[in-house]
A and B are shown apart, each in its own frame.
Chain A
Amino acid sequence: MDYLFDILLISLSAALINNFVLYYFVGICPFIGVSRQVGMAVGMGSAVTFVMTVAVFLSWSITTLILVPGAPLSSWVAGFFLPAEQAAAIDMTILTYIVYIFSIASSVQFVEMYVRKFYPSLYKTFGVFLPLITTNCAILFACLTVMSNIVGVENPEEAWDLGRALALGFFGGVGFTIAIVIMAGIREELDMCDVPKVFRGTAITLIVGGILAMAFMGFTGVDSGIRVAVTGAP
């Protein structure tokens, strides 16, 4: 019960309260560039969600199993060359960022192959965006958030397990999709409005994004409120 409650709070936080686009400013490039039509926005959002989940799975596994000091695989391999205590203290976290970006690139390749094989019509519609997802800040940001909840924690028991990591990855993507679809809907309406010449294009999108961010600020404190209501303690 405790665990499910934790997952619920992580999901709510990733999707709405600390929305990746409107609070953490990651994934801005597709937010401004791709959000012209709702159909395309939904496609982009689903692709990002899929890739984010796979990428978070890969990065959690590699971090927990290989990179952190005392990780099972690295200390087992090092045990062949070094005495046991030194093998247990092997710290490969310096390689984190390189490993993450290449696992993201691999996830994108995997998703691209999957979509091309099983949903060819979908691939034709938005297949050109898939390679671009590699440089989407949101995916790397999700992996980094998972990392910061494993590598720097004081209590080894509080290090995130796979369930929490996947919850963050999936619902972070859902939050991204929500933001980008709302923006696409607004922009479809904006096309029929008389926007002043200097604001057309990126400027008006950013200002609308600001108003959206203000709206989403209304969600602040919802998670601490739920926590107080359910557990009775802040």
Chain B
Amino acid sequence: MTQAQTSENGKMPAPRKGGHLFQAWLVLLLAVIFGACLSAVHVSLSGRISDNKLNESLEKIPELIWGGMKQGAPPDQASIDIAPGRIAVTSGQRTTYYPVFRVNAEGALAGWVLKAAGQGYAGKVELLLGLNPAGDKITGLFVLGQSETPGLGNKISSPEWLAQFAGQRTAAPLKVVKGGEPAPGVIDAITGATISSRSVTGIVNRAIGETRGLLTPEQMKLTERSQ
């Protein structure tokens, strides 16, 4: 420590005025170099990252449309064409955008997948909802993200509980019952996690209600893959 101090006192210190910017030359140089590195990282990786985000949903779509119905084999993978887009829902002055995927197989419309979100018991819940081409039957449900209580509320992600939604008609809102048997129009709540179960069903009901009649290729605005 003392050696450094004496060497600093031995040299004549540069005049303070105008010396600040000069003294910061190292910081500025590093800023430029690091800025260039970060730009390179951004350019090379941002495409991959947005693809990852999209693939999270895309991977689940075949299972959502064809998995729950258990009728026949799903069509050939190569003939499945999925187009991402948005549907605008206007209520009053507010416009909400629902991300939606139009699923074609072997040239014909095979179904729709909606991304819906809402408040769960302990945090935000994000869902992927699969519907048949006419939009009047649920073909599958998948939970993309949730932060419910481990061991209780987070059972909403379990395939066994979500299987109740497959095959349900969408004409009337689904009801949640405790301790009942799975039946058409009725969802059996998870024991000890009624609020989480009600939240998921509420999000599904609201998504179906708000996009009723809007699930047509004309209403859907296609989005760029990079967005």
Chain B residues with CB under 8 A of A155: 96-97
Total inter-chain residue pairs, C-beta < 8 Å: 43
Using known A-B contacts A155-B97, A233-B202, determine if residue A220 contacts B38 with beta carbons closer than 8 Å. no
> A224's contact among B34, B117, B121, B206, by CB below 8 Å, is which?
B121
CB <8 Å contact, B97 and A234: no
CB <8 Å contact, B198 and A234: yes
Chain B residues with CB under 8 A of A234: 118-119, 195, 198-199, 202-203
Using known A-B contacts A94-B39, A155-B97, A233-B202, determine if residue A221 contacts B118 with beta carbons closer than 8 Å. no
> Is B133 at the interface (CB under 8 A from chain A)?
no
Interface size class of B (residues with CB under 8 A): 20 to 34
A155-173 interface with B by 8 A CB criterion: 155-157
CB <8 Å contact, B42 and A94: yes
A91 to chain B, nearest CB (A): 8
A157 to B206 Cα, complex, angstroms: 18
Most buried by B among A91, A94, A220: A94
Closest to B226 in A: A89
A184 to B118 Cα, complex, angstroms: 38
Closest to B35 in A: A95
B59-80 interface with A by 8 A CB criterion: none
> Is B102 at the interface (CB under 8 A from chain A)?
no
B108-124 interface with A by 8 A CB criterion: 115, 117-122
Chain A residues with CB under 8 A of B121: 220-221, 224
Using known A-B contacts A221-B122, A233-B202, determine if residue A157 contacts B94 with beta carbons closer than 8 Å. yes
> Is A189 at the interface (CB under 8 A from chain B)?
no
A158 to chain B, nearest CB (A): 8
> Is A154 at the interface (CB under 8 A from chain B)?
yes
CB <8 Å contact, B95 and A157: yes
Closest to A233 in B: B202
> Is B41 at the interface (CB under 8 A from chain A)?
yes
Q: Which residues in B have some Cβ–Cβ distance to A below 8 Å?
A: 34-35, 38-39, 41-42, 46, 94-97, 99, 115, 117-122, 149, 195, 198-199, 202-203, 206
Q: Which residues in A have some Cβ–Cβ distance to B below 8 Å?
A: 91, 94-95, 98, 154-157, 220-221, 223-224, 227, 233-234
